């Protein structure tokens, strides 16, 4: 294994204050050494970086590797951060809500949110108003997750939640980015802003919980994650602690919308650079006159699916994951001490030259059943793998393409070039776009028949 000092990779420009902004450059340079197994010194100690799909699969599947609670201040002990016995109980409790029949039952929530969303873009199309695509996608996916999982329809609070989460995700991103580059000091002013934003997120989450509990039983729709949580009992008959219920709700809301919004925004931006793909996408979605689209249409939308999967490859929202071995072990021939920090990155793995021909080319045709069967199982892991495989995968793979197809049928998204290079990323906790993708949306067809609620 090659061992490298951070100085070898630090970008030339001054990144003080925004350490994560250059994190992708850092990873690119790490990978450019041609080594799939490297290590480097970070402010938290030595980090072992693995970029071979065999190793990555081992890390994700081996129970000896656990994840450190990097996002505890936001997610507490929820399913996205927990480990061990607590994680197992939570996963067992919530998994049934994400089995296919339950996920298909969420379709009305997706349709209703889209029916509310489309008139906003129709208005923007008529007035020529500038639309922040990333924020719009976050609003839509947040609306969907709240309707689908909690049976709740929020109004302006969607914007409040979106703005507060942006601050929290930005600042947590600075701190987690320390694993890659130099330590980051959060200034007292920023720290106050962070605490206020976190308090806003918490207030909204508590509001969601109280609102749901005030609904008469059987109303509200959705799979009612909160019913599962409220009815759960420990072996000794105790209900779940309130704090844990809050943490689970936070995991579901944040894990369930931020990621999806990112992939959709990247898809719109990439499409805007590829008129050839836009034409083919329009041909595909226009051939489906059924309103509204449902999961049964997805097998007939291979390009839409390919676009979504390819955006997940090049811009995986969860662009790095950290794990630590409980016991000393060997991985890919490298000796790892107990507690070592092991970093894997879907972002670099998805661009590995050995497993992806012309890795930097956006090519939605990579996902034919034959190509997928022939590919190394560990080469495409936007949803992780092993026991922490994304719980929301079936929902994300239905919701994302349906949103894309539905909106592509009605609109063209034209990004406004504003001095920012295209595809500029902001690698925070998730892989966001750097400037939120300001754009104009243009209506393609006259408003079509009303979508059912």
Residues that bind ligand HEM (CB under 6 A): 67, 79-80, 91, 251-252, 255-256, 259-260, 263, 317-318, 321, 382-384, 388, 390-392, 395-396, 400
Place of tokens 């809301």: 253
Instruction: Name the token pair of 414.
Output: 């034209």
The residue among 79 and 114 lying less far from ligand HEM, judged by its C-beta, is 79
From the CB of 392, what's the least distance to ligand HEM, in Å?
2
From the CB of 440, what's the least distance to ligand HEM, in Å?
26
**CA torsion angle for 345, 350, 353, 357 (degrees, to 10)?**
180
CA atoms within 13 A on the CB side of 137: 31
Residues near 142 by Cβ (< 8 Å), separated by ≥ 6?
Answer: 154, 158, 161, 162, 253, 257, 261
The residue among 261 and 441 lying less far from ligand HEM, judged by its C-beta, is 261
From the CB of 13, what's the least distance to ligand HEM, in Å?
30
From the CB of 79, what's the least distance to ligand HEM, in Å?
4
Give DSSP secondary structure letters for 320-355. -EEEEESS-EEETTEEE-TT-EEEE-HHHHTT-TTT
The residue among 164 and 384 lying less far from ligand HEM, judged by its C-beta, is 384
CA atoms within 13 A on the CB side of 126: 7
The residue among 9 and 367 lying less far from ligand HEM, judged by its C-beta, is 367
- Alpha-carbon distance 279 to 116, whole Å? 26
Helices 157-176 and 188-214 meet at what angle, rounded to 10?
Answer: 130
- Alpha-carbon distance 86 to 11, whole Å? 41
From the CB of 378, what's the least distance to ligand HEM, in Å?
13
- Alpha-carbon distance 377 to 55, whole Å? 12
The residue among 403 and 412 lying less far from ligand HEM, judged by its C-beta, is 403
From the CB of 49, what's the least distance to ligand HEM, in Å?
16
- Alpha-carbon distance 28 to 350, whole Å? 12
**Phi, psi for residue 357 in degrees, rounded to 5:** -60, 140
- Alpha-carbon distance 190 to 17, whole Å? 11
From the CB of 190, what's the least distance to ligand HEM, in Å?
25
The residue among 135 and 318 lying less far from ligand HEM, judged by its C-beta, is 318
The residue among 79 and 413 lying less far from ligand HEM, judged by its C-beta, is 79
The residue among 67 and 351 lying less far from ligand HEM, judged by its C-beta, is 67
The residue among 78 and 125 lying less far from ligand HEM, judged by its C-beta, is 78
From the CB of 293, what's the least distance to ligand HEM, in Å?
18
Nearest residue to ligand HEM by CB is: 392
* Cα torsion angle, 25, 28, 33, 35, sign: positive
From the CB of 63, what's the least distance to ligand HEM, in Å?
13
Cis peptide leading into residue 384 (ω within 30°): no
Residue closest to 94 by CA, chosen among 305, 256, 316: 256
């Amino acid at each position: 294994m090659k061992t490298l000092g951070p100085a070898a990779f630090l970008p030339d420009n001054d990144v003080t204050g925004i350490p994560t902004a250059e994190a992708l450059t850092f990873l690119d340079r790490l990978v450019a050494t041609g080594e799939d197994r490297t290590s480097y010194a970070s402010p938290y100690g030595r980090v072992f970086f693995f970029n071979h799909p065999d190793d990555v699969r081992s890390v994700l599947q081996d129970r000896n590797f656990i994840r450190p609670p990097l996002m505890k201040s936001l997610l507490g002990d929820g399913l996205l951060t927990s480990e061990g016995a607590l994680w197992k109980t939570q996963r067992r409790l919530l998994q049934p809500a994400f089995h296919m029949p339950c996920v298909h039952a969420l379709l009305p929530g997706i349709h209703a949110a889209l029916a509310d969303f489309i008139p906003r873009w129709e208005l923007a199309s008529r007035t020529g108003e500038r639309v922040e695509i990333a924020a719009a996608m976050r609003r839509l996916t947040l609306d969907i997750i709240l309707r689908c999982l909690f049976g709740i329809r929020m109004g302006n609070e969607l914007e409040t939640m979106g703005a507060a989460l942006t601050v929290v995700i930005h600042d947590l991103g600075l701190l987690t980015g320390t694993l890659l580059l130099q330590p980051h000091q959060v200034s007292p002013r920023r720290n106050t802003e962070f605490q206020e934003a976190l308090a806003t997120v918490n207030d909204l989450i508590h509001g969601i919980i109280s609102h749901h509990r005030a609904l008469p039983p059987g109303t509200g729709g959705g799979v009612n994650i909160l019913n599962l949580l409220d009815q759960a009992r420990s072996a000794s008959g105790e209900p779940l602690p309130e704090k844990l219920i809050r943490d689970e709700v936070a995991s579901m809301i944040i894990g369930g919308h931020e990621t999806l919004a990112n992939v959709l925004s990247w898809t719109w931006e990439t499409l805007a650079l590829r008129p050839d793909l836009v034409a083919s996408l329009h041909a595909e979605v226009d051939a489906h006159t059924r309103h509204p689209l449902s999961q049964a249409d997805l097998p007939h939308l291979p390009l839409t699916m390919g676009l979504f999967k390819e955006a997940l490859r090049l811009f995986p929202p969860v662009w790095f994951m950290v794990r630590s071995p409980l016991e000393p072990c060997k991985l890919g021939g490298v000796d790892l001490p107990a507690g070592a920090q092991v970093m894997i990155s879907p972002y670099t793995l998805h661009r590995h030259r050995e497993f992806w021909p012309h890795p930097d080319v956006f090519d939605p045709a990579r996902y034919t059943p034959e190509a997928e069967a022939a590919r190394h199982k560990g080469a495409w892991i936007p949803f992780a793998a092993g026991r922490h495989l994304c719980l929301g995968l079936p929902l994300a793979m239905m919701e994302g393409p349906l949103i894309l197809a539905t909106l592509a049928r009605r609109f063209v998204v034209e990004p406004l070039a504003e001095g920012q290079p295209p595809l500029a990323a902001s690698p925070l906790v998730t892989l966001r776009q750097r400037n939120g993708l300001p754009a104009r949306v243009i209506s393609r067809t006259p408003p079509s028949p009303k979508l059912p609620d």
